[in-house]
Amino acid sequence: MKPNIPAILLAITSAAVTVPVYADGGAVRVHNNTSTAVTVNSESGYCCTADSGDVCSCVLSVGAHKLVATRHDSNVTRTENVQVPAEGYDFVLSDGNP
């Protein structure tokens, strides 16, 4: 007896996909309005990298965090101590900041 491949594929593709949700975390949304790519790290490590004009994000626990943005063209950094609420935090970067 041959397996019913279409039925197996249907079962696999219709299975629920579970995405982890952090009940105690908030998204840090990095809005990169600089003229170069920027990488953002927190005290716990890598957060994300955004090209010029893009937005990237990572999830950090609710509370106090230290964000460090580094420009790719000059290695100039901006350090900011922030409070991340459950609804998230917008970290807006622009030329000159850094």
In the predicted structure, residue 35 carries a pLDDT above the cut 90: yes
pLDDT in tens, 56-67: 999 999 999 999
Burial degree of 54 (CB within 10 A; 0-12, 13-18, 19+) = middle
Helix (H, G, I), strand (E, B) or coil at 39: strand
pLDDT band at 4 (very low <50, low <70, confident <90, very high): low
Q: Which domains does the chain possess?
A: 22-94 (2.60.40)
